[in-house]
Structure 1
């Protein structure tokens, strides 16, 4: 077998609402082979990985996979299950897998669930799949596989890349509250919420955490000064800049003392309960480090406590115990340490609730003070300390005492957090007991430290006692109950009309007073300004808009390619719009027919919030049929259909049942709700609709109104937006008319049969003749689709200039020109077609071929070169010729009706 590649779909996708990785596998010589073709294979594999016996497979019960191998199954399927089993063995708990045919006869795609916040580089998945392949191949070769050694290395990589305990808890708490969560890179940094409600949190440090407070907490000398100035108890201490000064502090303060770094953390370099000058000198050398200064404090007797303060109240408290082992009379200290470290709750650093015990220099010194070493055997029941400082980071444990905290102790901690100005902080205390008032005597109780970004492990999973939802408290601090975390999100998909519909919706929301972020194939816009130029119809662009804290609403063009290759860039839109689903991109990304396209685009309708709105084209059977999908119905959506014809059966039935729809009635864009009718504006007054002749633009306007009204945009605002939706300013490259000499040049992005047919119908209807077309088509479409598009073009245009775009998308030079010419001749043998080498030659030739005043339709791939060329030709933005379309156009009736009713008038049922 051979692994071709692995890619990750980080957002909701056609397989799961959670991330998946897709591994393309070439079975090579195993293609067509089944497990039953290789006697003994299944037994050897099950012996190596006994957990495979619990896999359900299609049977829906444990043992399903073993039964499938006994009956005979393909090796892509087996490799999928082995990958999932190996994943579980390293603590990477995922359960969904699927194997599908892909590409050539030996190619299979393994679709494998990924943890939500796993790094995007797919490195761990790739190693797991590769190891699964080798494991299967070993079993085929007659060996019992042993993947344990390599699996340990993969486990280490997985541990290094996963979220820390505190950050992972915050991500879970946010998701439980419906707050969107995105991990930033491979960091312990989370982006929560959308748009204006976006917040960030790094472990237990929020974006509202005071930078000054962080500095104070990190400087023990300054922290003690501020706490003392607030009347809070702190240990008496001195800053020593030399061993001599440390000894002087020992003399002044009296033994025992504590020596620690001025800016240390996690208990490193802290030396406790020192009594002799030699101990103090040695501790000073350890604690001073490069700073050449250390803090010498009076030792405060008592128990160690950590109190977590969140938003001015005590969230949790724990009693801390330093790292230790307890003898059994036979095991050495080293063996006892190994026994403790076997607890799966212990890991390296902060990746587990507890940290593994160590036997480093600090621990060995502590053992020596007690008369022990790694090889000594403590008596049964004897407690041997490895550390004196009670930090989880050095192997300590915590016992939850939240319910025992005395109100006076709680007040002390809250005051300390306020004194340093921290929204979330950990207060380290030494007290005789946490359930009694702090003693008033000097030195009997003290605040040892105030910790910024405190670890949450001891509260989330205490060694003893009740776990506390401290991560939930932090999320509630950022998003108090009832506070929104999302801005309104509209997602628009379909084959044609996506960009125009997105732009119309965004204009409506902007005019309604919302600063709107918008993604289209032309770029990312925020507040009406282009902020990122690219084909921005995929998930990265959606994330860019939703991560912008100035955005108050988002309208996202959501194209097929982004869905297939990376999933959605958002979770749970408020409104989903499907403009239409027609033949395009067939043969790309294993999309074979219209049903495959529908499966992909349906995701936009399926991934809405419960009770959200789905806007569907009633005149398009495939788009309208999405409403019947179980995953759409499960969201309990409000359906809003649109159609230029009020008699469309799907729309009529929907209105009969009391639903909401949008159509053209007597020339007016109309909102229908059951029997009620509300006029919006005359179809002929939709800017860019050519007086209503561009029926596809009118349909886009209806879809846009449906989405905007779902977000409570007033009718009058929607009408004003459509009336002022000037193509050159608000919809560049879509139905824009330029004047070059005496000829109108219509620039549009049409690139599939339905879109080309719509533009041909517009030109023929508006100008009364087809004129000349200068065209290019994208090279990543199938040959059949290119020819079909060319045939649609030839039905209107008898003269066509064909040129190739600079980006051939994998085609050979001249190949697209040949295919388009073949399609033109198939539909119209008398068509005059002229090849042109480039865009400039095509436009020049088309203008030369056109008669006086004849229109030229220019289809393009990239708008910027077109705009630059037209400027050099002296083109100027132009309106369609006066007089409008012939009387049969829908705008004609609209103009006659304009004086009869203002926008927004509510009428009864149409006659």
Structure 2
């Protein structure tokens, strides 16, 4: 069989926001197929069979045909290798646990060169998937061996290292479902939800309402217990100890059995339950000491472990635990029995698993085995139960069984500590009965893990991410939750001036305004960055500023092609022109008509309650009106403009509303249908210092300000007080 040369990856670009391809992040890859341009999929012997043997779920890819098996039909009918690679990568991402349903492949003007994109929210993960997808495809083309498992594991590893953890991720997903935007602030789990002054921040399941004082209280288990006890909340009797000998002394004083645990540990590490013997208690002290700053000995309370999740004073999820045991068959060693137990698909070392693997070398497990006089090499008699773990397995959903009294004490404890989001560890004999006399609160956890509620081992998964999203952004905020007014401008004609004038008018209207433009970055009309900010980084700096109540962002066609937009949607999107194709040949933009695909991105992201502002003097710009989800305001240098006249006659308010800004002679007119209001004359609408702006730019700025609901009176007065200087 002939061997084919490698498909060459010419360049890769991660588009982090809305782009010419889609609204979400994608990796764009330029491919040179080389000789494979002449060999579609149905011409290479055995290719399709090898692909479907390695990736049988390709049958689920509908592709452009729109039905199950669509991509297989394309393979069998003959499709090019760029398209095949797209689907291979998407399937690898699916197998690694990150659904990636979107992809496209398009040939550019040079034969054999393709642009392939696939959706992935994290750049590192996308690049790893690209690497392995490329290798798999070339192996299939050249009939070479390929190991699928290492490829999937490599992508999984990248996901676990780079993607949000399950707790943070479920909150972000819930906000996305409510169309609340987010910005990841670091490589970990610190995330901003919303923009500017409307933002909230989370770090795993902690919010910006989680005070350092409350977190400190929760970390000190002994102090937490004393605080709760003083307020009438049932807690087990206990005491801080400094040595193994003191641990035994305290155990004798409060009465065995006891529990020994670290004072500020987490995830049940270093916790040992139901201890009565001196040797066990001293061994448990040694186990707990490395896991926290101090060790507590407390009265053991018989019952079942429970974790109740409290959000905003309400119990929104509850799970209960179970001990972990294996049962002998008279032949297998304990080690062998545990290896079988660890094959349970619910167990694993990564965040996606609700239960951990059982490690026979872990201190707590070894202590349990010592109590039973067993080792990993012991052969367990048929039917004999071996207890491996008593705690840390709270993954059985029980929310529907929680008694109102139990929920009350859980909520009360969270309020006493001062946490808006808290995981309440409780011991209860029966969660469906009142609390007093049959249970106690053991710990109050700040920033609790949510996986046990998202993926319980049995019972109903609970929408805890949405509960937290609704707590941070109450539903009565409507579609504006997490959003500030964003006006964004794309084009080449005096757009920096437009951005700065609109920013000035917004500032005068009472909103603390940030402007990112090619002339610099401005906050409240003060220059804070003299270099160009008309790019992703500049826009993001504005949107992460918690003081900014409104933002004006200038962007460029090149930034859209190379970075994507820094925001998901905007209230006002402005297109002034479609100039500049001559400088974009490196993106295969070779003629004026190709600019529409780029510039429409700005209009595609206008909110349904927003406004698209378009230059009616340029028909190719005005034609973008049909793509806008919101209203459209046109501006033109003449009242006789035919497009503008037709627009004013349109009374369909949702789509257009017939609003326009135009010139009648030297008068600037604001028109709504047939109604007209004169804003002023060109001679009167000059800037401070007598500067006369370009007429088209002035009309664009006025239309944008009007779209932002700034009153005509303020627009007129604000123009004449604007001190414009290029820095």
Q: Would you say same fold, with TM above 0.5?
A: yes
Contact 2:269 2:291 in 1 (8 A): no
User: How many Å separate the matches in 1 of 2:193 and 2:342?
Assistant: 35
Q: Unaligned 5+ residue runs, structure 2?
A: 1-6, 652-657
Is 1:46 equivalent to 2:52 in the alignment? Answer: yes
* Aligned counterpart in structure 1 of residue 440 of structure 2, from 441, 446, 458: 446
Return the alpha-carbon distance in structure 1 between the equivalents of residues 620 and 324 of structure 2: 65
**Partner residue of 2:539?**
542
Q: State the Cα deviation string for residues 857-898 of structure 1 (Å, max 9, x = none).
A: xxxxxx6xxxxxxxxxxxxxxxxxxxxxxxxxxxxxxxxxxx
Take 1:29 and 1:42, find their aligned partners in 2: how far apart are those partners? 18
The answer (yes or no) to whether the contact 2:572–2:611 under 8 Å persists in 1 is: yes
SS in 1 for 2:38: coil
By how many angstroms is 1:313 displaced? 2.3
1:831 aligns with: none
Question: 2:475 aligns to what SS in structure 1?
Answer: coil
Q: Who is 2:623 aligned against?
A: 625
1:57 and 2:69 equivalent? no
Conservation of the 8 A alpha-carbon contact between 1:41 and 1:142: yes
**8 Å CA contact 2:424, 2:441 repeated in 1:** yes
Deviation track 1:258-310 (CA, whole Å, cap 9, x = no partner) reads 11112111111111111111111111112123867411111111121112121
Query: Structure 1 704/32 Cα, relative in aligned 2: closer, same or farther at 3 Å?
Result: same
- 1:568-647 correspondence runs (5 A): 568-584=565-581, 585-629=583-627, 632=628, 635=629, 637-647=630-640
Q: Cα RMSD (Å) of the superposition?
A: 2.4
How many Å separate the matches in 2 of 1:282 and 1:693? 84
Deviation at 1:339, TM superposition (A): 4.1
Deviation of 1:436 (Å) = 1.6
Q: Give 1:146's aligned residue.
A: 147
Counterpart contact for 1:664–1:683, Cα < 8 Å: no
Alpha-carbon spacing, 1:159–1:543, altered in 2? closer, same or farther (3 Å): same
Structure 1 residues not aligned, in runs of 5+ = 733-862, 864-911
Tell me the residue number matched to 1:815. Answer: none
- Corresponding position: 1:322 with 2:323: yes
User: Is 1:469 matched with 2:463?
Assistant: yes
The match for 1:874 is: none
| More RCO (CA 8 Å, sep 6+) | 2
* Matched residue, 2:371: 369
Q: Relative to 1, partners in 2 of residues 1:305 and 1:292: Cα closer, same or farther, differing over 3 Å?
A: closer
Report the Cα distance in structure 2 between the residues aligned to 1:397 and 1:561, rounded to whole angstroms. 52
> Against the structure 1 CA distance between its residues 3 and 336, is the aligned structure 2 distance closer, same or farther, given a 3 Å change threshold?
farther
Q: CA deviation at 1:33?
A: 3.0
Structure 1 residue 272 and structure 2 residue 273: aligned? yes
CA separation of 1:603 and 1:340: change in aligned 2, threshold 3 A: farther
Deviates more, 1:227-236 or 1:446-455: 227-236
Q: 1:328 to 1:109 in 2, by over 3 A?
A: farther
Aligned to 1:905: none
After superposition, give the CA deviation of every residue in 1:685-732 in whole Å (9 maximum; x if it has no partner): 2325998976xx22222222222112221111000121223332xxx2
Q: What is residue 405 of structure 1 aligned with on the other side?
A: 402
- The question of whether the paired residues in 2 share the 8 Å contact of 1:619 and 1:648 is answered with yes
Specify the alignment match of 1:435 in structure 2: 432
Name the larger-Rg structure: 1
Match of 2:503 in 1: 506
Q: Distance in 1 between matches of 2:574 and 2:640?
A: 21
Superposed CA deviations along residues 369-391 of structure 1, whole A, max 9, x for unmatched, are: 345544556677765432112x2
Give the TM-score taking structure 1 as reference length. 0.74
Alpha-carbon deviations, 1:546-566, whole Å to 9, x = none?
111111111111211211111
| Distance change in 2, residues 1:23/1:505 (3 Å) | same
Pairwise mapping of residues 116-135 of structure 1 onto structure 2 (< 5 A)? 116=121, 118=122, 122-135=123-136
Contact map agreement 1:257 1:297 (CA 8 A) in 2: yes
Displacement of 1:147 in angstroms is 3.0
Following TM superposition, by how much is the alpha carbon of 1:104 offset from its aligned partner in structure 2, in angstroms?
Answer: 5.1
> What secondary structure sits across from 2:296 in the alignment?
strand
| C-alpha distance in structure 2 between counterparts of 1:413 and 1:53, whole Å | 49
Select between 415-424 and 269-278 the one with higher mean Cα deviation: 415-424
Return the offset for 1:106: 4.1
Q: SS of the counterpart of 2:395?
A: strand
- Cα 1:402–1:553 change in 2 (3 A) is same
What residue in structure 2 maps to residue 894 of structure 1?
A: none
Shift of 1:498: 1.5
CA shift for structure 1 position 150: 3.7
Q: Distance in 2 between matches of 1:14 and 1:181?
A: 21
CA shift in 2, pair 1:535/1:326, >3 Å: farther
Structure 1 pair 619/438, CA: closer, same or farther in 2 (3 Å)? Answer: same
Residue 456 (str. 1) matches residue 462 (str. 2): no
Aligned partners of 2:234 and 2:436 also within 8 Å: no
The residue number in structure 2 matching 1:528 is: 525
Deviation string, structure 1 residues 542-591 (Cα, Å, up to 9, x no partner): 22111111111111112112111111111121111111223443424221
Gap change, CA 1:324 and 1:572, over 3 Å in 2: farther
Equivalence for 2:3: none
1:350 deviates by: 2.9
TM-score (norm 2): 0.92
Separation in structure 1 between the aligned mates of residue 685 and residue 293 of structure 2, nearest angstrom: 75
1:223 corresponds to 2:224: yes
Partner of 1:668: 667
SS at match of 1:191: strand
The answer to whether the Cα contact below 8 Å between 1:26 and 1:107 also exists between their aligned partners in 2 is yes
**Aligned positions of 1:135-174 closer than 5 A:** 135-174=136-175
Q: Which residue of 1 aligns with 2:556?
A: 559
- The whole-number CA distance in structure 2 between the counterparts of 1:418 and 1:323 is 33
Aligned partner of 1:387 in structure 2 is 389
The alpha carbon displacement at 1:82 in A equals 1.5
Q: Is the 8 A contact 1:323 1:387 kept in 2?
A: yes
> What is the aligned counterpart of 1:99 among 98, 105, 118?
105
Structure-1 separation of matches of 2:252 and 2:276: 10
Equivalent of 1:489, from 486, 491, 500?
Answer: 486
- Check conservation: 2:265, 2:291, Cα contact below 8 A: no
| TM-superposed deviation, 1:333 | 4.4
Q: Would you say the 8 A contact 1:210–1:423 is kept in 2?
A: no
> Is the contact made by 1:323 and 1:397 (CA closer than 8 Å) also made in structure 2?
no
Q: Map residues 804-815 of structure 1 onto 2, 5 A cutoff.
A: none
1:414–1:509 distance in 2 versus 1, CA, 3 Å? same
Residues 813-840 of structure 1: per-residue CA shift (max 9 Å, x gap): xxxxxxxxxxxxxxxxxxxxxxxxxxxx
1:347 match: secondary structure: coil
The alignment partner of 2:13 has SS state of strand
Count of residue pairs the alignment pairs up: 710
- Of 710, 720, 723, 1:723 maps to 720
1:42 CA displacement: 2.3
User: Which one of 68, 75, 78 corresponds to residue 81 of structure 2?
Assistant: 75
| Secondary structure at 1:78 match in 2 | helix
1:190-229 map, 5 Å: 190-229=191-230
Measure how far apart 1:123 and its partner are. 2.8
1:2 equivalenced with 2:4 (yes/no):
no
Task: Indicate if the aligned counterparts of 1:686 and 1:725 stay in contact, CA closer than 8 A.
Answer: no
Relative to structure 1, the CA distance from residue 27 to residue 474 in structure 2 (aligned partners, 3 Å threshold; closer, same or farther) is: same
Structure 2: distance between partners of 1:657 and 1:222: 69
Q: Deviations over 1:48-96 (max 9, x none)?
A: 2222333333322333333333333222222222112222221121011
Correspondence 1:479 to 2:473: yes
1:292/1:609 Cα in 2 relative to 1: closer, same or farther (>3 Å)? closer
Instruction: Say if 2:306 and 2:394, in contact at 8 Å, map to a contact too.
Output: no
Asked if the contact 2:635/2:644 (under 8 Å) is kept, the reply is yes
Shift of 1:102: 4.3
Check conservation: 2:263, 2:293, Cα contact below 8 A: no
Superposed counterparts of 1:705-784, under 5 Å: 705-728=702-725, 732=726
